[in-house]
Chain A
Amino acid sequence: MFLQIWLLPFALLATATVIAFPLSRYMAWIMDGKYRPLPVMGWFEKRLDSGPQNWKQYIGSLLLFNTVLFVFGYLVLALQPYLPLNPDGKTMLFPSTIFNSVISFMTNTNLQHYSGDQHLSNFSQIFFAIANMFLSAAIGLCALVAIIRALRSDASLGNFFLDMWRVLIYMFVPAALVFALIFLWQGSPMTFKTSHQVSTLEAGAMGTTDKGEAKQQTIVVGPVAALESIKMLGTNGGGFYGMNSAHPFENPTGLSNFFNTLAMMIFPFALVIMYGRMLGRMRHAYVIFIVMLALMAATVVWSVYFDTLKPNPGLTTHAGRTFEIAGAKSSEPKKPLTYPAVAGLPVDQHLGNLEGKEMRFGTSAGATFDALTTDVTCGAVNAEEDSINPMASLAPMAGMWINSIFGGKGVGMINMLLYVIIGIFIAGMMVGRTPEYLGKKIEAREIKLAAVALLVHPFMILAPVALFAVTHWGVDAVSNPGAHGFSQILYQFSSASANNGSAFDGLGVTYGFYNNPNPAPSAIAFDIATGLVMLFSRFLPIIAPVAMAAYLGAKKTNPAGLGTLRDDDVTFGLFLIGTILIIGALLFLPAAALGPIAEHFGPFPFGG
């Protein structure tokens, strides 16, 4: 039993750590331009390289590139009914959902207020979803490399367009090809066909026509294996199917589940070591890596432990008792509810909470995936997040709040750098010495930029959560009353701001096609609010740290002395953990108390 639950998380953390070392060496080699390209590649790279850039030019190129991505993505989705590879005649999404989806994929979030298999044509899946998955994933990595060059006082931050090319062609394309072949081997479809019509074993299982004939089932297919590989490798997370990695075509077997989970971990793991290699500060990178690994292990253990409680408290506590609960909507009267409705059923849940789990993978695979997908800001899911035990849901939420437990490609390490700077600043103030990082003095401007970048994230979560929790936008969207409903709203904005993309799917946020007669009542409000949150939480915390690194790198390097705070020992590691927990996590404690913690300890449905 112990092995059944804990072997998978341990194997994943160990394998990703082992792969991180050679992969980081390769990535540093590529990004430092030490490779010799093939003649045709070299010719192209020379033309792509528009010259060395300072931080403003680099960020300007990054923003311009993303603006083009926005326009292109918007056009693809708006023109979907008129574009090819759409034999099912899928029409246009409602414009607010197009706005949300384009920003979502452009910012590497992949929060989906639509269902891929129902709402997107294969053209949109390929030229909107898959294309953005490659490009948006590369952008964060480029920003990190620019910061590294600034911190080591290079003459320039490099060239954004050349960096994009290097990440895409030498890292993502080969890695995605390997993983796509694995998923293809395991059974994922890879075809330009859009669907199959099949007769169900049980005649009429899909209903009957007006003439009384049994309806056929439509099974949607497409370039699933290709999408799946970059979805995970790029920590994108947007599924071809609405069910994401719980769908048997996206994630057919236990082995594909292992590779699915591993794929989202390898680049974020390797980037931390790459940071050390490119800076020439390996011990410093090891300390950061160990801090991140410890926090990740903690979130996985927390998630798995609380989701495998035996007996499952959701089925045993208060069995048969009747509660009076408020309606899901403010206008509805209170109603009695016997909870839990399934208590006393002969359900063997010796592995813990099985609601919303894909049984092919087992309980711990769902809880493990939940924690990892939020730690590395992937957002793919192989189990229903809305169904995990309340206390277990605190782990994925904490992963998104801290946003640097490896985090997304590049941006996770950038966020950790902010904690490092703030931590060193606090330590410097405590001993009355001007704080230094890599021998450069941290002064008011650097701290202001780091603080602004760090505060964007909690502001972008807590302000809209408060607004939606007290207005009909939020109240009309939640599918559960009380603490769990609050958790649904909290999770939605946490996911948007962390550029994660997973969701408590009970929340009603789907408008669907523009001519849908019955959209979710708050769909437009959620589309616009989460769209803006994703965009600002993506770019502001990239811009400010790049500026900070540029200003820091321009200073002269002071040799380390007796009073210098070491950044490569155990003390620093513990200090860093403390900084992250106090600044990163405690900001969200009141919100956590109103959501998952209240649900766990409160009278409904747990506790008592």
Chain B
Amino acid sequence: MNVGIWLVGMFFLGIVAMAVCGLFVKACEKI
């Protein structure tokens, strides 16, 4: 696969993972 696609894909995976942590804050609020 094109290395450029990998580069963009991995970058967004990291951002999405950080966003999931942000959602976890919301979940902790609701517990």
Contact = CB atoms under 8 A, between A and B. Distances in A.
Interface of A: 56, 59-60, 63, 66-67, 70-71, 74, 78, 94-96, 98-99, 102-103, 445, 448-449, 452, 514, 528, 531-532, 535-536, 539-540, 543-544, 547
Contact of B10 (A96, A445, A449): A96
Contacts of A547: 25, 28-29, 31
- Top 8 closest A-B pairs, CB basis? A99-B10, A95-B6, A547-B28, A539-B21, A95-B10, A95-B7, A67-B18, A514-B3
Interface in B1-31: 3, 6-7, 9-11, 13-15, 17-18, 20-22, 24-25, 28-29, 31
A56 B25 contact: yes
A540 B11 contact: no
B6 A94 contact: yes
A536 B14 contact: no
A449 B28 contact: yes
A561 B9 CA distance: 58
16 contacts: A70-B15, A95-B3, A95-B9, A98-B10, A103-B17, A449-B28, A449-B31, A452-B31, A532-B13, A535-B18, A535-B21, A536-B17, A539-B21, A543-B25, A544-B24, A547-B28
Contact of A539 (B10, B11, B15, B24): B24
A102 B9 contact: no
A96 B6 contact: yes
Is chain B's binding surface mostly helix, strand, loop or mixed? helix
A33 to B, nearest CB: 26
Contacts of A528: 10, 13
A540 B21 contact: yes
A60 B25 CA distance: 8
Interface of B: 3, 6-7, 9-11, 13-15, 17-18, 20-22, 24-25, 28-29, 31
Contacts of A452: 31
Given A94-B3, A95-B9, A449-B28, A63 B17 contact: no
A543 B23 CA distance: 11
B18 A66 contact: yes
B3 A99 contact: no
Contacts of B28: 449, 543-544, 547
Given A103-B17, A445-B31, A449-B31, 14 more contacts: A63-B21, A63-B22, A70-B14, A70-B15, A70-B18, A95-B6, A96-B6, A98-B7, A98-B10, A535-B17, A535-B18, A536-B17, A536-B21, A543-B25
B24 to A, nearest CB: 6
Contact of A448 (B11, B21, B22, B31): B31
Nearest to A528: B13
A445 B29 CA distance: 10
Contacts of B29: 56, 547
A129 B13 CA distance: 21
B27 to A, nearest CB: 9
Contacts of B15: 67, 70-71
A148 to B, nearest CB: 19
Nearest to A67: B18
B20 to A, nearest CB: 8
Contact of A99 (B14, B18, B22, B25): B14
A261 to B, nearest CB: 33
Nearest to B6: A95
Nearest to B14: A70
Contacts of B9: 95
A566 B27 CA distance: 32
A102 B3 CA distance: 17
Most chain A CB neighbours (cut-off 10 Å) among B20, B22, B24: B24
Nearest to A59: B25
Contacts of A60: 22, 25
Nearest to B4: A95
Nearest to A56: B25
Contacts of B25: 56, 59-60, 63, 543, 547
Query: Which of the listed residues B9, B10, B20, B21 has the most CB atoms from chain A within 10 Å of its own CB?
Result: B10
Contacts of A67: 15, 18
Nearest to B21: A539
Contacts of A543: 21, 24-25, 28
A536 B27 CA distance: 14
Given A539-B24, A540-B24, A543-B24, A63 B18 contact: yes
